[in-house]
C-alpha cells in the first residue's frame, strides 16, 4: 500500500514522461494511500492548468477526478500534523511534503514521488528508506 504524492497522481491523469512509471505504481499489488492534503494539491494543480489556458474547466475537473480515483484511502491531515511538523523541522523542508512522509510512516509503507527536491533533502536522512523515486 504505497503512499503517493500529487506528482504521481497527476501523472496518472495527464500524459507526461512520468505517466508510464506512474501507471506501474497502479499495477502493483495493494491499495494506494495519501494524506488528505493530496486532494488540495491536485485540485490546485488542475486549477492552475485551467487558469493558464492549458485545459478547459471541464477538462480540469476530469483530470482532478482521474488523478484522485485510484487513491483508496486518505489519511487525516489532523492526525498527521504533529508528525509532519517534526519531520519538516528535522529536514528543514516544507511541511506540505512532510505530510506525505508522515502518511508513509503511519501506514508503515513507502512514499513514491517524483519530487526531486524532496528526494535530495531526504537522501542520507533517517527518512531515506521511506521514499522511492518514481520509476525506480
Task: State residue 29's pLDDT score.
Answer: 86
**Residue 76 sits in a domain of what CATH number?**
3.40.50.1010
Q: How many independent structural domains does the chain possess?
A: 1
pTM of the model: 0.94
Name the phi and psi angles at 111, rounded to 5.
-95, 130
Query: DSSP labels for 46-85?
Result: HHHHHHTTSS-HHHHHHHHHHHHTTEEEEE-HHHHHHHHH
pLDDT at 4 over 90: yes
pLDDT for 91 beyond 80: yes
Position 86 scores a pLDDT of: 99
> Does residue 136 have a pLDDT over 80?
no
| Per-residue model confidence as pLDDT tens digits over 26-71 | 998 889 999 999 999 999 999 999 999 999 999 999 999 999 999 9
Residue 46 belongs to domain spanning: 3-133
| Gap between the Cα atoms of 40 and 45, Å rounded | 9
Whether 37 contacts 79, CB under 8 Å: no
Beta bridge partners of 34: 74
Amino acid at each position: 500500500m504505497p503512499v503517493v504524492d500529487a506528482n504521481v497522481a497527476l501523472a496518472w491523469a495527464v500524459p507526461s514522461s512520468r505517466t508510464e512509471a506512474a501507471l506501474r505504481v497502479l499495477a502493483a499489488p495493494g491499495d494506494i494511500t495519501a494524506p488528505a492534503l493530496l486532494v488540495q494539491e491536485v485540485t490546485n494543480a488542475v486549477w492552475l492548468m485551467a487558469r493558464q489556458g492549458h485545459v478547459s474547466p471541464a477538462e480540469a475537473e476530469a483530470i482532478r477526478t482521474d488523478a484522485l480515483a485510484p487513491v483508496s484511502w486518505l489519511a487525516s491531515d489532523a492526525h498527521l500534523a504533529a508528525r509532519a511538523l517534526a519531520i519538516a523541522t528535522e529536514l528543514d523542508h516544507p511541511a506540505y511534503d512532510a505530510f506525505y512522509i508522515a502518511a508513509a510512516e503511519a501506514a508503515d509503507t513507502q512514499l513514491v514521488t517524483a519530487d526531486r527536491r524532496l528526494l535530495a533533502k531526504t537522501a542520507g536522512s533517517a527518512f531515506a528508506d521511506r521514499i522511492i523515486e518514481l520509476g525506480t
